């Protein structure tokens, strides 16, 4: 089956001027902004959709159309096995923070719609399919606040700063892609619910740190119920929540210390509250770094919750960040709790680590392939859009972070696409929500990593990373009639989709 690619994705393939050759843990960006969108490209035809991003910037989400070819005897053959199945994938996407929305709302309506379509439209854009929002404020909101800052849960209301500054963007995203999944995470409970870390019953009047007072567990459970309810009444279905962003981080501008003992006790209130309200939103625990063992008393954080049957019944799985430790920790979580889901929910780039060449490759390997190969169901990264100053941001939060997309604060029009945009696009475009990871085996080579998926429409997806300094050829074999060969450039990501329903 041949098809035609006729979309605007190639508008984003402008080369970047790259500088530096250091690992993603150090370096500076040195890129100049990519030019803005140009005229629509000519259609590309073929049996297979192919997308390639190279670390040197020569290919940036570049599309190609490939024809099927005979590869049964190829020494580079990778066999796709749809009969071997693993996890179902929910999707990929960025965080839609108050800061992201502020920048988007400074754009003209036409420009904002264009960039949101490039990100979220599954047919003419990259097809981002999953987003994360903050419940109340965060270090990238426009203020410090929660949805109930007056003492008494009866005063719950999503504030105007979100209804005016976030809801319009969410509505436009859902108009573009109604199937978007939304995950919510709080950075802090209301201050009147906080106590000190040492004694949660002792009042603690600060956005930074503190601990949830057990006397307010019922009220805080109701807080989540009302947040989900009000969001859905406004047209924003909430797929999942985490109980606390970075529960072991006491020092963020908005934060709450929530050790595993607290999450275990709290979910016994939250789960029944959701059930009573008829809410089927998934509840995830943890939502922090791989290296929780470095925090005294927090060894086996999610596993301690799973070990309590009364708590575990309400917890769908765990959420993870990569600011410490290794993705290999997910092997331990999966082995100990194979019935619980795994999500990657936050990673940042910024002045402390950014170099396009290393970040685009390293993050794709560790975050995307690393999570997906360990039964992860989705990958969420941090801000979709910040300006060229890393703003807006909150005092005491990250002032050196980059968005997946950077917008010029001088005109709110000129855009630059950073590594996280391309990493998300390379997966989201070919791996659709509801895809099942399937078997892929055969040819191996140093620096070559790959995974395969079956989409709900029957099409297949194959994502491959070549991190070696030389090109690598793969011959993808589904059957005698659906096979193709491709040579992946050095230090490049290549994604493919073919078969039933693959037409755009």
According to the model, what pLDDT value does residue 28 have?
42
CA distance 68 to 296: 56
Query: pLDDT digit string (tens) for 61-81?
Result: 999 999 999 999 999 999 999
Q: Rounded distance, CA 291 to CA 322, Å?
A: 9
DSSP conformational letter for 40? P
The answer to whether the CB of 36 falls within 8 A of the CB of 413 is yes
Q: What is the pLDDT of residue 33?
A: 36
At residue 341, does pLDDT exceed 60? Answer: yes
pTM over 0.95: no
- Verify cis geometry, omega within 30 degrees of 0, for the bond prior to 392: yes
Q: What is the pLDDT of residue 45?
A: 84
Supply 70's token pair.
């005979």
Residue 12 confidence class, pLDDT cut points 50, 70, 90: very low
> Which tens digits make up the pLDDT trace of 257-312?
999 999 999 999 999 999 999 999 999 999 999 999 999 999 999 999 999 999 99
pLDDT score at 18: 28
Contact (CB, 8 A) for 406 and 418:
yes
Query: For residue 192, which of 235, 160, 151, 237 has the smallest C-alpha distance?
Result: 151
The confidence score (pLDDT) of residue 394 equals 96
Which tens digit of pLDDT belongs to each residue from 123-145?
Answer: 999 999 999 999 999 999 999 99
pLDDT classification of 32: cutoffs 50, 70, 90: very low
């Amino acid at each position: 089956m041949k098809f035609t690619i006729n979309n605007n994705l190639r508008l984003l393939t402008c080369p970047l001027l790259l500088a530096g050759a250091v690992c993603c843990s150090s370096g500076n960006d040195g890129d100049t902004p990519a030019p803005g969108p140009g005229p629509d490209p000519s259609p590309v035809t073929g049996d297979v959709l192919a997308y390639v991003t190279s670390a040197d910037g020569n290919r940036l989400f570049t599309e190609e159309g490939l024809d099927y070819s005979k590869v049964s005897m190829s020494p580079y053959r990778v066999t796709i096995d749809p009969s071997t199945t693993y996890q179902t994938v929910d999707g990929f996407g960025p965080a839609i923070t108050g800061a992201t929305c502020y920048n988007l709302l400074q754009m003209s309506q036409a420009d904002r719609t264009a960039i949101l379509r490039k990100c979220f439209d599954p047919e003419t854009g990259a097809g981002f399919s999953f987003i994360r929002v903050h419940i109340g404020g965060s270090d990238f909101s426009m203020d410090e606040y929660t949805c109930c800052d007056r003492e008494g849960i009866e005063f719950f209301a999503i504030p105007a700063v979100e209804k005016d500054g976030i809801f319009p963007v969410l509505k436009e995203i859902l108009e573009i892609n109604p199937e978007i999944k939304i995950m919510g995470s709080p950075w802090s409970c209301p201050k009147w619910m906080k106590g000190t870390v040492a004694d949660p019953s002792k009042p603690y009047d600060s956005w930074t740190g503190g601990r949830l007072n057990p006397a307010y567990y019922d009220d805080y459970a109701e807080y989540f119920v009302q947040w989900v309810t009000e969001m859905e009444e406004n047209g924003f279905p909430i797929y999942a929540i985490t109980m606390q962003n970075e529960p072991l981080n006491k020092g963020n501008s908005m934060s709450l210390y929530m050790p595993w003992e607290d999450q275990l006790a709290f979910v016994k209130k939250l789960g029944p509250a959701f059930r009573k309200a008829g809410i089927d939103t998934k509840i995830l625990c943890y939502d922090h770094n791989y290296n929780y063992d470095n925090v005294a008393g927090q060894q086996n954080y999610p596993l301690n919750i799973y070990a309590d049957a009364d708590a575990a019944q309400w917890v769908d799985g765990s959420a993870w960040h990569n600011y410490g430790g290794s993705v290999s920790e997910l092997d331990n979580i999966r082995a100990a709790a194979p019935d619980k889901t795994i999500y990657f929910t936050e990673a940042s780039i910024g002045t402390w680590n950014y170099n396009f060449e290393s970040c685009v490759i390293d993050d794709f390997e560790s975050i995307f392939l690393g999570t997906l190969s360990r039964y992860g169901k989705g990958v969420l990264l941090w801000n979709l859009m910040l300006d060229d100053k890393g703003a807006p941001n909150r005092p005491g939060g990250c002032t050196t972070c980059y968005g997946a997309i950077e917008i010029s604060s001088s005109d709110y029009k000129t855009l630059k696409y950073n590594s996280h945009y391309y990493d998300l696009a390379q997966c989201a475009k070919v791996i659709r929500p509801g895809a099942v990871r399937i078997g892929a085996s055969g040819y191996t080579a140093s620096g070559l990593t790959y995974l395969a998926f079956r989409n709900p429409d029957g099409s297949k997806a194959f994502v491959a990373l070549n991190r070696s300094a030389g090109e690598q050829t793969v011959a993808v074999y589904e059957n005698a009639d659906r096979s193709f060969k491709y040579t992946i450039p050095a230090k490049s990501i290549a994604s493919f989709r073919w078969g039933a329903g693959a037409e755009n």
